[in-house]
Copies of this chain bind each other. A is one copy, B any other.
Amino acid sequence: MSSPGSPVAASPAPTLGTVGEQGVLERIFPRLPAATSTLLGPGDDAAVIAAPDGRVVITTDMMIHGPDFRLAWSSANDLGWKAAASNLADIAAMGATPTALVVAIAAPADTLVAFLEEFADGLREGCQAMAPGCGVVGGDLSVSDTLTIAVTAFGDLEGRVPVTRSGARVGDVVAVSGVLGAAAEGLRLLFALGVPDAATAAELRRTHPDQVAAQLRPHPPIADGKAAALAGATAMLDLSDGLAIDATRLATASSVALALSALTVQELTGGEDHSLLATFPAGTELPGGFRAIGEVIEGQGLHLDGRHVDGAGWDPYSGWDGARG
């Protein structure tokens, strides 16, 4: 960190490689959000959490440097927040209340300890903002050439039936809570900058804050998952691959068609919003941020303004060109 001619011998910034796993964990733990469900926290071979319902909802998701994020665009805090958000949304989409996370990180040995601390801060801020009471109960820290974040999230059904993708019935209202297409628009704007670059990305955050935040720091309506279940939602899922693809999945799982109206191409195809798509019995007073976008009809797949739609969205295999940045 000091130039060869520097008169002051500055000590290099501590990294994962110089501080070691145990040292880093000791610095991260105090920053992680506590979970009210914790019965036995980090420090043993395994954690123990309360599952008062007698069932546990579980989802797992990996974020990979390159296909899933660019370090020129996302701060470590953003990554922690997004890792929480995307997993919390999957728990919410079952109608459950998020209770805990475990987080495994593999990072290059020259990763700054400060980066990992900021990542922990993002996890904490995300949990506190989106799912108060949910926290980190365990994890793993490894070295890898590729920065990789693996989160597993847990939820409690509090006595409710899980809301799956397969329960939509003809006549139900189709509704969504959260933004549609904003995350994809943010990604388009970021890619339009050319080679990933922190300075131009920072400028874009100022000119298009909503779209960039939707992509880098999404804020899905986690509490609306439970609210939808309480309101009688018949089916629900998290919009991760775009409305067209995900709505088709719900329609297929339920053996019905979804007839939507008045949506733009961006709203239909933009991925990574982590908004909630749900169906409710006709006449239901829609809870929280849900708004009607169509209805369930007989048939197959997806219809927009009366015409069949063939969805196409983000495919991590065809969609990644091998670049990182």
Residues of A135-163 at the interface with B, using a CB-CB cut-off of 8 Å, are: 137-140, 142-146, 148, 150, 152-155, 157, 162
Asked whether A67 and B155 contact (CB < 8 A) given A46-B57, A90-B46, the answer is no
Check B152–A144 contact: CB distance below 8 A: no
- Which of these binds chain B: A120-128, A170-178, A179-187, A314-322? A314-322
- Which of these binds chain B: A25-33, A101-109, A260-268, A282-290? A101-109
Q: Interface digits, A40-51 against B, CB 8 Å rule (1 contact, 0 not)?
A: 100111111111
Query: Could you say which residues of chain B place their CB within 8 Å of the CB of A148?
Result: 62, 64, 106, 144, 146, 148, 150
Expressed in whole angstroms, the Cα–Cα distance for A82 and B145 within the complex equals: 21
Asked whether A164 and B66 contact (CB < 8 A) given A51-B54, A154-B56, the answer is no
Query: Could you say which residues of chain B place their CB within 8 Å of the CB of A64?
Result: 106, 142-144, 148
Check A62–B21 contact: CB distance below 8 A: no
Check B154–A45 contact: CB distance below 8 A: no
Chain A residues bordering chain B, tally (CB within 8 A): 70
A67 to chain B minimum Cβ distance, whole angstroms, is: 6
Asked whether A317 and B59 contact (CB < 8 A) given A48-B157, A237-B45, the answer is no
Query: Could you say which residues of chain B place their CB within 8 Å of the CB of A157?
Result: 48
Expressed in whole angstroms, the Cα–Cα distance for A148 and B149 within the complex equals: 10
Check B54–A49 contact: CB distance below 8 A: no
Query: Could you say which residues of chain B place their CB within 8 Å of the CB of A236?
Result: 45
A247: Cβ under 8 A from any B Cβ: no
Check B138–A59 contact: CB distance below 8 A: yes
Residues of A1-59 at the interface with B, using a CB-CB cut-off of 8 Å, are: 16-17, 20-21, 39-40, 43-59
Within the complex, which residue of B44, B96, B318 is in contact with A46, where a contact is CB–CB below 8 Å? B96
A197: Cβ under 8 A from any B Cβ: no
Within the complex, which residue of B90, B91, B140, B316 is in contact with A60, where a contact is CB–CB below 8 Å? B140
Query: Could you say which residues of chain B place their CB within 8 Å of the CB of A238?
Result: 45
